[in-house]
Amino acid sequence: MGESRSFAEGFKGFWEERLSFLENYTRFTKRDTPLPSWSSSDVEEFIASDPVHGPTLKTAREAATFGVAGAALGALSTAAFAWKYSRSPHGAALSFLGGGVFGWTFGQEVANHTLQLYKLDTMAAQVKFMEWWERKSQ
């Protein structure tokens, strides 16, 4: 019994360590009342008002378009290829899902290198935006 408990505690500790970055967002996600929705103009206002984190957030938002474009391209091309050669609806649907995931991942990697996201702390910029939005919305 003690051996399985120590295994479970070790397993839990392992994943807590790997996912510790999620604690940055807990004060925004585990609130009594959720933050109100924001618009693109609110994000643009933050980008203009914060000279340190604003450009980083703008770059991160641009990177999201790479992911979306990659997902659309990957999903449609793999689904079309699967449909052309198999005429199987479930095969085309699975190819659509798989291609979307692969395309999104590939698009994010292209954005990471093209926009040099590896040099930026995008998580800090997102947290600063959430703090700014929290102050502004109250």
Percent of the chain having pLDDT more than 90? 62
Task: Give the C-alpha separation, 95 to 103, whole Å.
Answer: 11
Task: Give the C-alpha separation, 76 to 82, whole Å.
Answer: 10
Per residue in 81-109, pLDDT (tens digit) is 999 999 999 999 999 999 999 999 999 99
pLDDT band at residue 15 under the 50/70/90 scheme: confident
Please name the amino acid found at residue 97. Answer: L
pLDDT band at residue 65 under the 50/70/90 scheme: very high
Query: Full-prediction pTM beyond 0.85?
Result: no
